[in-house]
Every structure is written in C-alpha cells, then in structure tokens.
Amino acid sequence: MEDYQDLIDKAYELMLIYAPKIVLPILVLVIGMWIFNRFTKATRRTMTVRSVNVSLIGFVSSLTNLGLKAQGHLDVVKEIHIFVTILLSPDSKTIIIPNGAISNGDITNYNTEGKIRVDMTSGISYESNSKTTKDVLMGILTAHIPRC
C-alpha cells in the first residue's frame, strides 16, 4: 500500500512540475490560432469594404490556405512553423519540408483560382476512332469527377 502512495505522491509532484510546461504552450497555441483567424477575417472584411484590389485580398487570404508545389511535392499547406512547413499530400501523407528549402526553391501555387487543373497524358493507336476514344475518356472522367 505504501508503494502506491509513493507512486501517487511522485505523480502529483511531477504533475505540479510539468503541467504548466505542457498546458501553457497549448493554451498559447489555441489563443494564437483564434486571434489569427479573427484577424484574417477582419482584414478580409476591411479590405472588401474599402474596395482594395481583389488580387491583394486574394493574396492575403491565400496565406492561410495554399495548394502548392514545392520541392517536387504537389500538396496543400497544413501548417507553417518557424523552421518547417507541413504539407498534406492528396494520398493523406504528411510531408515536412524545411522553410529554407522552400524559400530557396521554386513554388507553384495551383490553388490561386480556387480549383486545381490536372493534366493527363494518354496514348491511342492511329487506327482508333478519335470520337469514340474521346467519348470513352469523357465517360470515365464524368463518372469520377462530376464537374467534367
């Protein structure tokens, strides 16, 4: 019974030591994210009311939701930290890229217009009927992508 009491006392002591070190950063993160979201919405609203150039409004808004190609990855930005950027790939993989590599490399933003273009290459024989081939491909695309 004494061993359990010692364990409980030790756990309580460790909780008193480490709880502030864990809870405080989480609290700062949550409050910071809330303030950032409020600031972003207020900035967008103010810019719209004051008739700021639409491209500038879009630029400011896109800082929080980017779909980009960086370092050979075509992904959506999930988080931006001081030293790294975390990307989420279409197949749900998390990719962590150092910000130095991103700032020194080329970045292509595919989400500027709110939609992503997909280029597909296919080959058909010269003897194939092009109308039939086009109909088959459009049927496949419309079955999987309703907006085609």
Residue 25 banded pLDDT, cuts 50, 70, 90: confident
Class of domain 65-109: mainly beta
pLDDT (0 to 100) of residue 118? 67
- How sure is the predictor about 62, in pLDDT bands with cuts at 50, 70 and 90? low
pTM of the shown model = 0.35
Q: What is the mean pLDDT of residues 114-128?
A: 72
The answer to whether 98 and 83 have CB atoms below 8 angstroms apart is yes
Query: What is the pLDDT, as a whole number, of residue 86?
Result: 80
User: pLDDT at position 148, please?
Assistant: 44
Kind and range of the H or E run holding 10: helix 2-49
Give the distance between the most distant pair of CA atoms in the chain: 87
Residue 121 has pLDDT above 60, yes or no: yes
Q: Give burial (CB, 10 Å; 0-12/13-18/19+) of 70.
A: buried
Question: In the chain, what are the domain boundaries?
Answer: 2-58, 65-109
Question: What pLDDT does residue 97 have?
Answer: 80
- Quick: pLDDT tens for 131-146: 888 888 888 877 776 5
Q: Percent of the chain scored above 90 by pLDDT?
A: 0
